[in-house]
Homo-oligomer: A and B are copies of this chain.
Amino acid sequence: MDALKNDRFLRALLRQPVDATPVWMMRQAGRYLPEYRATRSKAGNFLNLCKTPELACEVTLQPLIRFDLDAAILFSDILTIPDAMGLGLHFAEGEGPHFHHPVKTAADVKKLAVPDIHATLQYVMDAVSLIRRELHGRVPLIGFSGSPWTLATYMVEGGGSKEFSKVKGMLYEDPNSMHQLLDVVARSVSAYLNAQIEAGAQAVMIFDTWGGALTTRDYQTFSLNYMQQIIAELKREQAGRPIPVVIFSKGGCQWLEMQAQIGADCLGLDWTMDIGLARSRVGNHVALQGNMDPTVLYASPQRIRDEVGFILKSYGAGSGHVFNLGHGIQQNVNPEHAKVFIDAVHELSGIYHK
C-alpha cells in the first residue's frame, strides 16, 4: 500500500493539529455527477453498481478527480447487511429500496442470524481493497454501515417509511423481539465493519439516519446502546494506526451529550445545529463533522463561500472539525458549486489553524 499523502481527515477526527479543515461530502459519489450517471447506466441498476467492485471503485474515485476532497468513502448501500441476511433487497426503477422478505413477526426475528460476511459480502471487501489500491494513498478511505436501529426500520417496514408504524409497533409492543433483532444486526455490523477495516478502510462511519424518529428514552435504549455495542467490538487499530469512528444520528442533535459518551471519535451533525454551540456542549470529548445545509449548494458561489465562512467561524480555532454537508448532496446540484464549497473550506480555514 502507498503511504498516506493527506492525513488531514484522520488527524481532525483524532483532534490533532491540521493545516486546514478537511472536507468531504456525504453522497459525494452520486447522481449530481454526470460521470456517475454514466457508470450507473452501464451497471444496469443500482444494486449491480454496488455489487460490482470495479464499478463501485470507479464511482468512489470520480469525485476525487474533480474535487480536492480530503477523504474517499466506499460506494455501497446501507442495506447490504439485511440483504446478506436473506431479506432479498431490490430497487424498483425510480423507487426506494424494498425487501422481498421483511421481518414481520417475533418468529421472523428468531430466524435471523449473523451472516457469513465473507461468503455474502465479499464484493464489498473486494471494492474496499480495490479502492485502496487505486487511491495510491492520496486520501484515506472511509468504510461505513447503517446503524442497527436504522437497518431495523427498513427490515420491519419492508422498505422506506415516513411514519414507522410497523417498526415502532414492534418496539412498543414486543420490545424483547426488537432487542433480539437489534442485537443480531449489531453483531452483523461489527463483523462487517471489522472486515472493511481488514480490507483497508482507514476510518468507519455509522449512519443512524432514523435515530431522530425516536423519543429520547427510546433513542438511548434502541439506537445509541447498539451503536455503543458495535464500537466496543470494533478493531480500533490496524497496521499500527488508529481507526477513528464517526456516528451520525440525523435529527439527533438534542442528544449530543449522550452520543459523546459511547466511544466514538467524532459526531456527525445535521445542519439544524449551530456547530459552535455543539462544540461547547461536547467539544472536549469528540470531534464534530458537518454541517452545511445541502441546499446552500443551489445558491451563488459567493453565498456558498459566506456560509462556509459562518460555519468555520462558529466552530472557531483549533482542530476537531471535519467539514461536510449536514446530509447527502442533492441530485440537482451543479458540480461546479460543489467545487466552490470544497475549495472555500480549505481557503477560508487556514486562519483557524495557525
Across the two chains, which residue of chain B brings its CB closest to A328?
B163
Inter-chain contacts of A277 with B (CB < 8 A) = 216
Query: How near does chain B come to A83, taking the closest CB pair, in angstroms?
Result: 25
Query: How near does chain B come to A26, taking the closest CB pair, in angstroms?
Result: 14
B216 lies within 8 A of A303 (CB): no
Q: Tally A residues with Cβ within 8 Å of B.
A: 35
Inter-chain contacts of A293 with B (CB < 8 A) = 168, 214-215, 218
A172 lies within 8 A of B215 (CB): no
**Contact flags (1/0) for A298-313 with B, using CB distance below 8 Å?**
1110010001001000
Evaluate whether A217 and B298 lie within 8 angstroms (CB atoms) in the complex, with A165-B330, A251-B251, A330-B165 already known.
no
Query: How near does chain B come to A329, taking the closest CB pair, in angstroms?
Result: 11
A251 to B273, CA, bound (A): 11
Query: How near does chain B come to A66, taking the closest CB pair, in angstroms?
Result: 21
Interface residues of A in 230-273 (CB under 8 A from B): 251, 253-254, 271-273
A121 at the interface (CB under 8 A from B): no
B274 lies within 8 A of A216 (CB): yes
A332 at the interface (CB under 8 A from B): yes
A164 at the interface (CB under 8 A from B): yes
A173 at the interface (CB under 8 A from B): yes
A272 lies within 8 A of B212 (CB): yes
Contact pick for A214, options B212, B219, B272, CB 8 Å: B272
Across the two chains, which residue of chain B brings its CB closest to A300?
B173
A82 to B185, CA, bound (A): 47
Name 14 interchain pairs, CB-CB below 8 A, sorted by A: A163-B330, A165-B330, A168-B298, A172-B296, A172-B303, A172-B307, A173-B300, A214-B272, A216-B272, A216-B273, A216-B274, A216-B277, A219-B272, A253-B254
- Copies held by the complex: 2
A169 at the interface (CB under 8 A from B): yes
Interface residues of A in 166-219 (CB under 8 A from B): 168-169, 172-173, 212-219
A294 to B172, CA, bound (A): 11
B298 lies within 8 A of A169 (CB): yes
A274 to B216, CA, bound (A): 6
A229 at the interface (CB under 8 A from B): no
A169 lies within 8 A of B299 (CB): yes
A300 to B251, CA, bound (A): 28
Across the two chains, which residue of chain B brings its CB closest to A174?
B299
